[in-house]
Amino acid sequence: MTVDVTPAVREFLLAIADDKHLMGQQHAEWIGVTPFLEEDLAFCSIGQDELGHAALLYELLAGDDDAAIDSLAYDRGADEYRSCHLVELATDDWTVAFARHWLFDTADQHRWTLVSQSTVPELRDVAARVEREERFHRMHADNMLDVLLADATARDRFVTAVAALAPLTQGLFEPVPGEAEAVATGVAAGPFAAEWDAFVETIEARIGAVDWGSAPSQAQRTQRSNDWQALMARMREVIDLDLSATW
Amino acid sequence: MAAFEAFLDDGGIVEVDDDMPAEYRQAVFAFIEMHANSELMGGLTERDWIPRTPGLRHKMSVLAKTQDEIGHGHLLYMVAADMQIKTREEMLEDLFAGKSRFHNVFHYQAVTWGDQVAIAFLVDAAALASQQAVFKNCSYGPYRRILKRIISEEGFHMRLGEDRMMRIAQGTDTQKEIFQGALDRWFWPALQLFGPDSKPDDVLLRWHIKSERNEVLRDKWVQKFVPMLQSYGFTVPAPDLSYDEEAGKWDVGPIDWEPLKRTLAQGGPDSARRINEAKDNWERTRWVRDAMDRAAAVPA
């Protein structure tokens, strides 16, 4: 099932898909090494959901064939990806990984709201399915936050991690190529940046004022972060062993 | 003990709150603890390659598989903890301190993607065969009920491994070479997972925890996987491999049990890295568990 969208709107959808893909990729690093077994299971489940959401969006653009989806997921040049730097960031610190999960899924709720009434019916369907799963991601983060924020030591660690991620988080809301056309044609109800204030209100209501710092230079998400090359090399390590192989 | 053993011989099932001899409680607990440890350490072995999985949906499948393994560990630790010998935390602390055991195969490192496939295909099949034999006639009720779920999920894992192995078998020379390398590394550890021949006085057999002798299960695995691997064009790395036409059976030749013994003493090829990394992760995230403990201690 593919959708008939303009090249510009395709770029807009790729930004959402690439964020989802790389967020799932980052979560996949944490299986078995989160603070406790129940969290291992939850984080792994969330990671699978994020990858699944990416696959649904790639499918809208490329069709249901695994090879076509993987071509979009793995084979583009660096400047053709539309991910934000937040999801490209490598970390071996669970506090940072968890803070990113909270920031990303909180922002994601706003983004999916913008396309939930899209003029593209297939995108509406994907948005509805995604939201059914995303609400559990937010519940997971909220329940953990209830514990972490009630404890002085844990709160300090968590708030410090959010502060470190705050500049990159702004990159989630940066306009992407095709967004203006997506809004003009009703694919999206508005630009993602329009949700920034509401997002900040949600975050700060939970942990207090945040110094958001300076947004990274992403050049409308056409510019990759310093962590990109190593991330993509890891994702493509097996693929690159033999480009003609089907694994 | 004689009356208890007669009860077991009659098909009696022991529940967690039932009276049971201390020896039985300890033996069952140790068996389940090792199973739980192995599920967790197996997940960590697979974890090394998950981010490198070639394919988006493929990655979802292997994540789901490893999530199952960690989930099995989670369930088994609860069943073991209910026996009130160690808490879950004590079991994990012992595991990360190198004080308790896990299956030999997870003392090895997966060094290529082919190893990941070999683990799902060969090792999961061996583990599944062992678990099915325990489930068949297990006298400890809570373990038997958990095994029912574990076995059903492990069957999917083995089929995932078989499917991926078949893709490789029909694939390029590079793929076949990579899998043959993995087979060379994993065939013997997978076979050794069953352990040496069962001793005549094995209490796990006497007390109906195990229902099959190690050598019987090992032989069934050999009879299934040797011809299957050969039929897909791979070479079984057993120099003394022979086929007895009369008996219609494969014989892999003498088995060197020294590698198994080394893993039991935490001296396997990857034991130190595997345990130390797990310990390091456990320590670095201790503050979260401490925060949760403090939160739980606050009256509602």
The CATH number given to whatever domain includes residue A34 is 1.20.1260.10
Mean pLDDT to the nearest integer, B259-265: 95
Phi, psi of A209, deg, nearest 5: -60, 140
Could you name the CATH architecture of B2-297? Answer: Up-down Bundle (1.20)
pLDDT band at B296; cut points 50, 70, 90: confident
Residue A17: pLDDT over 80 = yes
Within 13 Å and on the Cβ side, how many CA atoms surround B15?
2
* Residue B300: pLDDT over 80: no
Q: Out of B51, B171, B298, whose CB is closest to A25? A: B51
**In the structure encoding, which two tokens stand for residue B269, read together?**
């090829």
- Bridge-based pairing state of the strands B249-251 and B242-244: antiparallel
Task: Work out the end-to-end distance of chain B between its first and last CA atoms, rounded to an integer number of angstroms.
Answer: 46
Report yes or no on A1 lying in a domain.
Answer: no
Mean pLDDT across B191-207: 94
Task: Provide the pLDDT confidence category of residue A219 given band limits of 50, 70 and 90.
Answer: very high
- Kind and range of the H or E run holding B249: strand B249-251
Nearest to B291 among A38, A74, A154 (CB): A154
The β-bridge partners of B251 are B242
Partners of B67 on chain A (C-beta within 8 Å) are 31, 40-41, 44-45, 48
Q: How many residues does chain B have?
A: 300
Q: How confident is the model at residue A119 (pLDDT cuts 50, 70, 90)?
A: very high
* Separation between Cα atoms, residue B144 and residue B141, nearest integer Å: 5
Residue A207 confidence (pLDDT): 97
Q: Pick the residue from chain A with its C-alpha nearest to B170.
A: A246
Q: Do B43 and A32 touch (CB under 8 A)?
A: yes
Question: Which secondary-structure segment (H or E) carries B227?
Answer: helix B214-231
Please report the pLDDT score of residue B297 as a whole number.
Answer: 86
Distance of residue B227 Cα from the nearest chain A Cα, in angstroms:
23
Choose the mutation target among B45, B61, B62, B67 for the interface with A, i.e. most A CBs under 10 Å. Answer: B67
CA distance A241 to chain B (A): 8
As a whole number, mean pLDDT of residues B191-210 equals: 94
Q: What is the pLDDT of residue B133?
A: 92
pLDDT of residue A1: 74
Tokens 């924020």 belong to residue:
A149
Q: How far apart (Å, rounded) are the C-alpha atoms in residues A171 and A22?
A: 14
DSSP at A116: T
What is the band of A2 on the pLDDT scale with cuts at 50, 70, 90? confident
Spatial separation of the C-alpha atoms in residues B217 and B280, rounded to whole Å:
36
- Cβ distance of A44 and B40 shorter than 8 Å: no
Residue to mutate among B281, B288, B289, B294, with most A CBs inside 10 A, is B288
Q: Return d(Cα B232, Cα B264) in angstroms, integer.
A: 33
Q: How far is CA A44 from CA A39, A90, A111, in A?
A: 8, 17, 23
A212, A166 contact by CB (below 8 A): yes
Based on the number of CB atoms within 10 Å of its own CB, is A44 exposed (0-12), middle (13-18) or buried (19 or more)?
Answer: buried
C-alpha separations of A119 from A14, A17, A131, A181, B177 in Å: 17, 18, 18, 12, 50
- B14: which strand partners? B140
- Nearest-angstrom CA–CA distance, A44 and A64: 24
- Given an 8 Å threshold on Cβ–Cβ distance, is A151 in contact with B178? no
Whole-number Å distance between alpha carbons of A22 and A82: 11
Expressed as residue numbers, the domain containing A160 is 7-241
- The answer as to whether A117 is a domain residue is yes
Nearest CA in chain A to B296: A147
Work out the mean pLDDT of chain B and round it to a whole number: 96
Q: Where are the domains of chain B?
A: 2-297
Give the chain A residue nearest B47 (alpha carbons): A31
Residue B231 scores a pLDDT above 80: yes
Beta-carbon separation of B67 and A31 below 8 A: yes
Confidence at residue A3, expressed as pLDDT on a 0 to 100 scale: 87
- Residue in chain A nearest B111 by alpha carbon: A238
Cβ contacts (< 8 Å) between A150 and chain B: which residues? 295, 298
Helix (H) or strand (E) holding B197: none
A21/A26 Cα distance (integer angstroms): 9
d(CA B84, CA B104): 26
Residue keyed to tokens 């609400």: A135
DSSP string, A25-42: HHHHTTTT-SSSHHHHHH
pLDDT band at A88 (very low <50, low <70, confident <90, very high): very high
**Cβ within 8 Å, pair A238-B164:** no
Q: Which of A24, A25, A48 sits opposite B64 (nearest CB)?
A: A48
**pTM of the full predicted structure?**
0.95
Give every CB contact of residue B99 below 8 A, 6+ residues apart in sequence: none
Q: Searching chain B, which residue's CA lies closest to the CA of residue A71?
A: B55
Smallest CA–CA distance from A158 into chain B, residue: B288
Chain-chain contact of B56 with A69 (C-beta, under 8 angstroms): yes
**A68-82 mean pLDDT:** 97
Please answer yes or no on whether B174 and A157 come within 8 Å at the CB atom: no
B64 contact residues in A (CB cutoff 8 A): 48
Question: Residue A238: which of B47, B52, B284 has the nearest Cβ?
Answer: B52
Partnered with residue B140 across adjacent β-strands are B14
Q: Across the interface, do B288 and A69 touch by the CB < 8 Å criterion?
A: no
For chain A, give the number of residues: 247
pLDDT, tens digit, 9 for 90 and up, residues B58-75: 999 999 999 999 999 999
Query: For A171-185, B188-202, B286-300, which range has the lowest pLDDT when averaged over its residues?
Result: B286-300
Over residues A21-36, the pLDDT tens digits come to 999 999 999 999 999 9
A:B CB pairs within 8 Å: 139
Q: State the total domains in chain A.
A: 1
